[in-house]
Amino acid sequence: MKINTKFSINDSLYIIPLKIKGKVLSLFFASTGLTYNVRYFDTLKPCDCYFTEDELSLEEPKQEIGFKSETK
């Protein structure tokens, strides 16, 4: 049986709720759907947690740098 997933094992990705980068360790099929076991570092301590596809992204969101000035 072949299953197509959005992310693969060893993919580096961005964890949206934590605003941090991580790496996929494994995939888990549960009654609620597919989840990804992702390793990340929090204050230099390795952690891993399960996330759903909508909580992960291959790209970090773009952030605006600079300031706005009002002109009259």
16-47 in b/e form (b: 16+ CB < 10 A) is eeeeeebebeeeeeeeeeebbbbebeeeeeee
d(CA 37, CA 20): 15
Q: Give the chain's length.
A: 72
The pTM (predicted TM-score) of the whole model is 0.79
pLDDT tens column, 7-60:
999 999 999 999 999 999 999 988 888 999 999 999 999 999 999 999 999 988
- Let me know if 49 is exposed, middle or buried by CB neighbors in 10 A (0-12, 13-18, 19+): middle
Domain ranges of the chain: 12-53
pLDDT band at 4; cut points 50, 70, 90: confident
